Amino acid sequence: MSTTEELNDWAYALKCEKAVEGLKKNGFDALYCQTGEEVFHYIVNEAADAKSIGFGGSLSVADLKLADKLKGMGKEILNHSAPDLTPEQKMAVTRRQLTCDLFLTGSNAVTLSGVLVNIDGNGNRAAAMFYGPKKVIVVVGRNKLVDGGVEEAICRIKKFAAPANAKRLDLATPCATTGFCSDCNSPQRICRVTTIIEKKPRNTDIRVLVVNEDMGL
């Protein structure tokens, strides 16, 4: 590792730890993880008692390649992004995710003060984050952390995450072509439901893993 990389990791580690501190103050169970591998083993351990596990369409989670491992453990995998599903089947899976034993997702942005901010097209991922599943684990790469408040978090999502996700999903939106948000009125617009989780919801067990690696968009 070069000196530049070492200093970069050091600076991000302090930022991650500050976010964990903020999340804990807001009532979340939060943990600093140095690597994605550490996250992988944490989730596998937490999944031991779960029968059904929902995947919220997060690249941060998908890149960990957990599905095969968890399926091999005998878990029912609820993944609405699985290939060859009909629209009706996808809808059925997203509804079942709302009552699964363990729901795995990322977050579009997290403030250093410990607030989770997300923007969805359907709202299924955001809804499952705060009510329904027995346990929720949110994986947050260091690239998702913002120094400011909710306004900066939303700005990050609309300027970067939303256009990149629209491109990834091959949607017919202006941002998927230009790379810039235009506050469009496209039928396939993905910026439709904005959620701000300021404090841990009373009846939901949410674990937030803050990782000193870039993860997802």
pLDDT tens for 75-132 read: 999 999 999 999 999 999 999 999 999 999 999 999 999 999 999 999 999 999 999 9
pTM for the full predicted model? 0.96
pLDDT category, 1, cuts 50, 70, 90? confident
Specify the 3-state DSSP secondary structure of 11: helix
Structure tokens at 107: 């977050």
pLDDT category, 141, cuts 50, 70, 90? very high
The mean pLDDT of the chain is 97
Q: What is the DSSP string of 13-80?
A: HHHHHHHHHHHHHTT-EEEEESSHHHHHHHHHHHTTT-SEEEE-S-HHHHTTT-HHHHHHTTPEEEET
Cβ-Cβ contacts under 8 Å for 81 (sequence gap 6 or more): 55, 57, 62
Q: CB atoms < 10 A from the CB of 65, how many?
A: 10
pLDDT at site 25: 98
Rounded (10°) CA dihedral 33, 25, 198, 206: 50
Q: Is pLDDT of 217 > 90? A: yes
pLDDT tens for 5-19 read: 999 999 999 999 999
pLDDT at site 122: 94
pLDDT tens for 55-90 read: 999 999 999 999 999 999 999 999 999 999 999 999
| Domains by residue range for the chain, with CATH | 3-211 (3.40.50.10420)
Q: Is pLDDT of 204 > 90? A: yes
pLDDT at site 11: 96
